[in-house]
């Protein structure tokens, strides 16, 4: 939920306004992009002991190609906001060569107002999707490369510069613009808040 409050008496040119964004609004955004899935097919080379006919049948290591599929699914992404920090957490699960795995992923969240006076919410770390399993005694990592969750969660932007309002007057519709300056951001339990100096123009 996103809430905004503003009181502008007629005799006051500018007044403090508040924009409040709750965890539930961020969690609804995260829920809309889940689950995040990835699948890769690859070939892993395993060095297996096989009888060597040139050494009287003595087993020697030989490279054996083995086709594998790796999958990953990110679910349960939720934001947690406290007066001290903001964090996003989720669960990663899937399989590599038929061996299941699961782990937790998380990142601190940066909440800032940029130079264009937009509210920007983004994870600080990449939240890389990575998995390693033990397959037939060999340690095999999923070939996910630099796949990460953070870019999918880094598109939360809310313009704070100016908002247009259309009001009905006896002379017909009139458009006013609510301008905001001097943004001050603070974190609270379950939400964050931005106070601004706001005025109509």
Number of domains in the chain: 1
Q: Which residue has the higher pLDDT, 120 or 183?
A: 120
User: CB under 8 Å to 107, separation ≥6 — which residues?
Assistant: 87, 88, 123, 124, 125, 126, 127, 150
Which range of residues forms the domain containing residue 132? 18-160
Q: What is the mean pLDDT of the chain?
A: 81
CB contact at 8 A, 6 and 39: no
Residue 192 within a domain: no
pTM: 0.71
Q: Which of 120, 111, 119, 124 is nearest to 81 (CA)?
A: 111
Q: What is residue 3's predicted lDDT score, i.e. its pLDDT?
A: 46
Residue 190 DSSP class: T
What is the radius of gyration, based on Cα positions, of the chain?
27
pLDDT tens, position by position, 102-149:
999 999 999 888 777 778 888 998 888 888 999 888 889 888 877 888
Residue 11 within a domain: no
Tell me whether the omega of the peptide bond preceding residue 151 falls within 30 degrees of 0, making it cis. no
């Amino acid at each position: 939920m996103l809430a905004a409050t503003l009181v502008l008496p007629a005799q006051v040119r500018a007044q403090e306004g508040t924009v409040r964004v709750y965890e539930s609004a961020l969690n609804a955004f995260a829920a809309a992009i889940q689950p995040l899935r990835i699948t890769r097919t690859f070939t892993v080379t395993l060095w297996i002991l096989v009888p060597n006919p040139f050494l009287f049948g003595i087993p020697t290591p030989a490279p054996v190609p083995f086709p594998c599929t790796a999958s990953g699914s990110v679910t349960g992404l939720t934001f947690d906001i406290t007066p001290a920090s903001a964090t996003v957490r989720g669960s990663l699960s899937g399989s590599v060569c038929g061996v299941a795995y699961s782990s937790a992923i998380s990142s601190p969240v940066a909440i800032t107002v940029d130079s264009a006076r937009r509210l920007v919410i983004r994870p600080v770390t990449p939240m890389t999707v990575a998995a390693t399993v033990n397959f037939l005694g060999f340690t095999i990592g999923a070939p996910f490369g630099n796949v990460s969750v953070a870019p999918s969660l880094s598109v939360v932007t809310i313009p704070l510069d100016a908002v247009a309002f259309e009001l009905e007057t006896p002379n017909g519709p009139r458009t006013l613009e609510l301008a905001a300056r001097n943004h001050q951001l603070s974190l609270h339990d379950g939400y964050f808040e931005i106070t601004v100096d706001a005025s109509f123009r």
